[in-house]
Amino acid sequence: MKTARFDVPPAAGSVSAAVKTMTAIVHDEYGTVPEDVLRLAEVNKPTIQDNEVLLRVHAASVDRGTWHIMAGLPYPIRVAGFGLRKPKYLNPGRSLAGTVEAVGTEVTCFAPGNEVFGICDGSFAEYVRVGTDKLAPKPSNLSFAEAAAVPVSALTALQGVRDHGRVKAGQQVLIVGASGGVGSFTVQIAKAFGAEVTGVCSTAKADLLEAIGADHVIDYTSEDFADGAHRYDVILDIGGNASLARLRRALTPKGRLVLVGGETDGRWLGGTDRTLRALLLSPFVNQKLGTFIASENASDLIVLRELIESGQIKPVIDRTYPLSDVAGAIRYLVGGSARGKTVITV
Ligand SMILES: NC(=O)c1ccc[n+]([C@@H]2O[C@H](COP(=O)([O-])OP(=O)(O)OC[C@H]3O[C@@H](n4cnc5c(N)ncnc54)[C@H](OP(=O)(O)O)[C@@H]3O)[C@@H](O)[C@H]2O)c1
């Protein structure tokens, strides 16, 4: 990756005309090849509004959403606020952990020196500005690298299990795509809610699911979770894009299906056609078929911090990359080999 020294225009409020500079990943056009569209550069350090916090970032993490924001695909993501023709934010990083450097005049809940984790736009940088509504004190038993793995992926897992799956103790829960970033948290959170958990993954990652507490593991290369042998009260579908018919076949007659994700090549719909069909069908069948987009909020970060500090969940970190090689981290993740989370140290 090239390193350039230049000033980035103060786009979308992400940087100011401050004289101090920092090192950051800069992303000024959409593209599917990380090395083509991401570069390391010296840019202006952000300045904060009265209700914001300036953070010194120690670690960030990548997830499938990072690739989507980088590529601007599927296209609806551009309309959703990431920039219609070109990226709106400095870079596609979002999850992070760091230390509070300064606070705005209206901020009372954080002070310089606090160690925090959360979500912002452009987290692949030495400094970021963050709203307090997406920030919480870092779990005391995690390193910055571990804490940076948590926000987007674990919030999604928590809301999938608790709010949309409504998982209760003793229920049979199937997690498809259990070995990735969202999946590895989902397995642990469903266990923390008292469920009997079956995780679906590829052969090479079966040991990971056992290590994080899955009661049963289905290797999708040799077994079919919808073979009729078992039915599940709740299915969280995070990867693989199984058909609705297969997912419903594996669900109890009044079970809940939560469509969390699943990668497709679709540039326009990106899997939303399956989701739309599920939402249209749900009112006419006894099973509950739904989906959601994770809500990024501080109160759920605090719930996660409590689950982590009580030892009920722990981030699974696969590889760690330096800030200069965010492109390599994204390439590794989308290559499909990652087990759990891939982290960037800053
Ligand atoms: N709804 C939301 O708000 C929300 C929020 C965050 C993420 N997401 C979505 O959730 C999905 C996962 O994101 P992530 O960051 O966790 O990605 P990730 O870390 O790359 O994990 C992807 C998972 O998909 C699994 N997978 C691939 N092919 C499969 C198949 N045929 N059958 C079963 N599992 C298969 C992989 O398992 P193996 O490697 O073992 O095959 C891996 O565990 C993405 O589509 C993302 O966009 C949604």
Domain positions in the chain? 3-149+315-345, 153-291
Residues in the chain: 346
Q: Phi, psi (5° rounding) for residue 182?
A: -65, -45
Q: Is 177's C-beta closer than 6 angstroms to any atom of ligand 1?
A: yes
Q: Which two tokens stand for residue 212?
A: 């994080």
Neighbours of 177 (CB within 10 A): 25
Instruction: Tell me the C-alpha distance between 81 and 325, whole Å.
Output: 26
Q: Calculate the alpha carbon distances from 121 to 78, 174, 268, 285 in Å.
A: 14, 32, 23, 40
Rg (CA), the chain: 20
Name the residue of 95, 205, 263, 279 to mutate for ligand 1: max ligand atoms within 8 A of Cβ.
263
Which amino acid type is present at position 86?
K
Tens of pLDDT, residues 55-66: 999 999 999 999
Q: Beta partners for 39?
A: 26
pLDDT at 8 over 70: no
The pTM for the full model equals: 0.94
Comparing 44 with 15, the larger pLDDT belongs to: 44
151-194 residue pLDDT tens = 999 999 999 999 999 999 999 999 999 999 999 999 999 999 99
Cβ pair 103, 47 in contact under 8 A: no
Q: Are 275 and 259 in contact (CB under 8 A)?
A: yes
Q: State the distance from the centre of ligand 1 to the C-alpha of 153, rounded, in angstroms.
A: 10
Q: Is the pLDDT of residue 13 over 70?
A: no
Fold of 153-291: Rossmann fold (3.40.50)
Q: Whole-angstrom Cα distance, residue 197 to residue 213?
A: 8
Residue 14 has pLDDT above 90, yes or no: no
Question: Using a 6 Å cutoff on CB, does residue 294 contact ligand 1?
Answer: yes
Supply 339's token pair: 């087990």
Nearest to 238 by CA among 301, 285, 190, 306: 190
The fraction of the chain above a pLDDT of 70, given in percent, is: 95
CATH superfamily of 3-149+315-345: Medium-chain alcohol dehydrogenases, catalytic domain (3.90.180.10)
How many Å lie between the centroid of ligand 1 and the Cα of residue 98?
Answer: 26
Rounded Cα distance between 14 and 49, Å, is 11
* Paired strand residues for 56: 99, 127
Q: Is 12's pLDDT higher than 50? A: no
